[in-house]
Amino acid sequence: MTGFVSFVGSGPGDPELLTLKAVARLQSADAVLFDDLSSAVLGHARPGADLVAVGKRAGRPSPTQAHVSQLLVEYARTGSRVVRLKSGDAGMFGRLEEEIVALRTAGIPFEIIPGISAASAAAAAAQIPLTRRLSARRVQFVTGHDVTGDLPEQRNMAALADPEATTVVFMPKRTFPALAASLIEHGLSPDTPALIAENIGHPDQSLIRSTIAKLAEQLQAGFSSKPALILYGPLMEAE
């Protein structure tokens, strides 16, 4: 008896940013395994569905990836319709590959339903485009840390320090001071515009405009535990 797993991107947190397909899967699911940042959309889940928190947050006790993958397999083997609810877009720094591999190994069918990325939501909240016709023809999404929590050692600094690209750094707070120093060392101006977006898609979201140098100095002095991302490059100033 084999069920079915839907990997659903929940968007950045605002329930109104869910896709219609995401809502439909939540409403028909027997079980929902959800990330911490996806809990705001659980109101769409079917009454009586199992709601299982499996989110992983830095510095907090969290289930292992192997445990999460095994839960998906076990629920599906009971014949359940399972939603694996991931914040933002499921395929963007969400450990999606490990869970896909577990399902394929177990012979369990699945689908992937994309969600609005936090990067797109942050740009929209700041009322700026991610691309600009003459000055930012490329967008790059990078992670601020590797599996150890440190700044990744293997970095394409020529790309990251490109003054004509919009760069979005996910999970950036702890390592951005070191990244900014490396960017400046590789030729990017310390006055390059930067934007830190916290808790995007939630009522207490905040947007702070700065420069890479000033933002690095601010984060070096301390930061909150709120989830955030940083955008830098030729960012348009909102009116």
Residues belonging to the active site = 35, 56, 171
Neighbouring residues of 147: CB distance < 8 A, sequence distance ≥ 6: none
- Quote the CA–CA distance of 10 and 115 in Å, as a whole number: 6
* 48 to 110, 122, 217: CA distances (angstroms): 22, 34, 48
Give 40-43 contacts, CB < 8 A, sequence gap 24+. 40/10, 40/13, 40/14, 40/15, 40/201, 40/202, 41/10, 41/11, 41/13, 41/15, 41/85, 42/85, 43/15
* Residue 169, token pair as written in the block: 């750094």
Give the number of C-alpha atoms closer than 13 A to the C-alpha of residue 184, restricted to the C-beta side: 16
- Quote the CA–CA distance of 235 and 166 in Å, as a whole number: 7
